[in-house]
Amino acid sequence: MTLNALFAARLDRWDHYKDVLPKAFKAAGVEVHLALDIAPEEVDYIIYAPNSELQDFTPFTRLKAVLNLWAGVEKITGNTTLKAPLTRMVDFGLQQGMVEWVTGHTLRHHLGMDAHIINPTHAWQPATPPLSRDRRVTVLGIGELGMACAEALSGLGFDVAGWSRTPKTHDKITCFSGTSGLSDALAHGQICILLLPSTPETENLLNAETLALMPKGSFIINPGRGPLIDDDALLAALDTGQIAHATLDVFRVEPLPVAHPFWAHPQVTVTPHIAAETRAETCAEVVAENIRRNEAGEPLLHLVDRAAGY
Ligand code: NDP
Ligand code: OXD
């Protein structure tokens, strides 16, 4: 029997997916008709991006699952019209993209590259950066993406700590967890990377009080989500030098409004939510495998815990 999969992401993404997904379905041995327009009562799966216009799932009466193309699910976990299981994207492309972006920005701050790249007076400034083993890095959120980044940075020699909701152990990463572990995690890192999901528990995690727990002159790198940081508290901490620089990829409002003080602040780098992009070539296999599994009665991969919010 042919299954119907509705593609509900931004229209400009269709060209990237329209050939790649059918190839992956074939390789997985599932017969799926993929389209942009299918009568709701005939849809078995929705391949979804949270910025799609589709927000009311009520008419999809035979829906078996929503397969989210993004890792972040904060825009959909609270949608009460969605009764079917929800999965999120975990794949090689997102992971590798994030590792490369995070490593690049970490090395920029670790090596003090700006002093040489932006040097209008041509000053000769031979300051030797510390070796990576003498630089402490903290990754807040050591899930699929955070742990991949923590391991890559540890592989480069950095002294890495991570923080998660549930306790973890790792032979190379110092692991902290829960509310009681947060202050130790924050005190560890001179470079702090945020790879937490946006949930009610993580909102404003970095605020005036927690920013003060970080070593003086720390760097913040946020490819997680904008609401993790209290913007005003960060600006105040940048102005006192408590935080030396913030590299921000995600914001409460995106695109970041032109009048937002982050744009003009000399110690803030803004990137336009490009840390890691879902790529059709790497995610199609995961989407197809999930349909295969569900049809075979096997558990779906990367199921979202909607109560936890991620
Ligand atoms: P995961 O769900 O795999 O990992 C989330 C991590 O955060 C886990 O370690 C989890 O703990 C931890 N966490 C969640 N809530 C809390 C809490 N209250 N206290 C402490 N730790 C907590 O997600 P991913 O790694 O796949 O993705 C992380 C985020 O990255 C996404 O939610 C998204 O917002 C962002 N992202 C940004 C992109 C970009 O381009 N900027 C691209 C892709 C993702 P535990 O392990 O115990 O569950
Ligand atoms: C995601 C993202 O969540 O792109 O996948 O931010």
pLDDT in tens, 59-92: 999 999 999 999 999 999 999 999 999 999 999 9
- pLDDT tier for residue 186 given thresholds of 50, 70 and 90: very high
pLDDT confidence tier of residue 9, bands split at 50, 70 and 90: very high
- Ligand 1 and 225: CB distance under 6 A: yes
Q: How far is the CA of 141 from the centre of ligand 1 (A)?
A: 5
1 band by pLDDT with thresholds 50, 70 and 90: confident
Considering only CA atoms, which of 145, 131, 182, 130 is closest in space to residue 161?
182
Q: Say if domain 3-90+278-295 classifies as CATH 3.40.50.720.
A: yes
DSSP code string of 242-293: SEEEEEES--SSSSPPTT-HHHH-TTEEE--S-SS---HHHHHHHHHHHHHH
Of 142, 304, 279, 301, give the one whose Cα is nearest residue 224. 142
Average pLDDT for 17-23: 98
Total-model pTM: 0.98
Predicted pLDDT at 164: 98
| Structure tokens that stand for 27 in this block | 């390789």
Cβ(223)–Cβ(98) below 8 Å: yes
- Identify the band that residue 217 occupies on the pLDDT scale cut at 50, 70 and 90: very high
Ramachandran assignment for 103, one of left (phi > 0), alpha (psi -120 to 50 degrees), beta (any other): alpha
Beta bridge partners of 67: 47, 87
How many residues are there in the chain? 310
For residue 146, the ligand 1 atom closest to its alpha carbon is 25
Interval between CA 298 and ligand 1 midpoint (Å): 25
CATH 3.40.50.720 range(s) for the chain read: 3-90+278-295, 92-270
Query: Closest ligand to 309 CA?
Result: 1
Helix 92-111 / helix 144-155 crossing angle, nearest 10 deg: 50
| Contacts of 70 by beta carbon, 8 Å cutoff, 6+ apart | 49, 50, 88, 89, 278
Confidence class for position 192, pLDDT limits 50, 70, 90: very high
Query: Can you tell me the mean pLDDT for 224-244?
Result: 98
Residue 217: closest CA among 241, 199, 191, 237: 241
- Measured from the Cα of 250, ligand 1's closest atom is 41
Distance CA 182, CA 200 (A): 16
Q: Is 72 in the pocket of ligand 2 (CB under 6 A)?
A: yes
Average the pLDDT over 13-35 and give the result.
98
pLDDT (mean) for 25-30: 98
Catalytic residues: 225, 273
Question: Could you tell me if the CB of 205 is within 6 A of ligand 1?
Answer: no
Mean pLDDT of 100-118: 97
Nearest ligand atom owner, CA of 164: 1
- What percent of the chain shows pLDDT beyond 90? 99
Give the span between the Cα atoms of 175 and 204, in whole angstroms: 22
**Ligand 2 binding pocket mutation candidate from 94, 96, 228 (most atoms within 8 A of CB):** 94
* pLDDT tens per residue across span 239-289: 999 999 999 999 999 999 999 999 999 999 999 999 999 999 999 999 999
The verdict on the CB of residue 129 being under 6 Å from ligand 1 is no
User: Are β-strands 86-87 and 65-68 bridged in parallel, bridged antiparallel, or unpaired?
Assistant: parallel
Q: How far apart are CA 96 and CA 156, in angstroms?
A: 15
Is the per-residue pLDDT at 234 higher than 90? yes
Q: What single string gives the DSSP state of each residue in 91-150?
A: -HHHHHHHHHHHHHHHHHHHHTTHHHHS-TT-----PPPPPGGG-EEEEE--SHHHHHHH
Backbone phi, psi, residue 221, to 5°: -125, 115
* One CATH from 1.10.730.10, 3.40.50.720, 2.30.30.100, 2.60.40.2130 for 92-270: 3.40.50.720
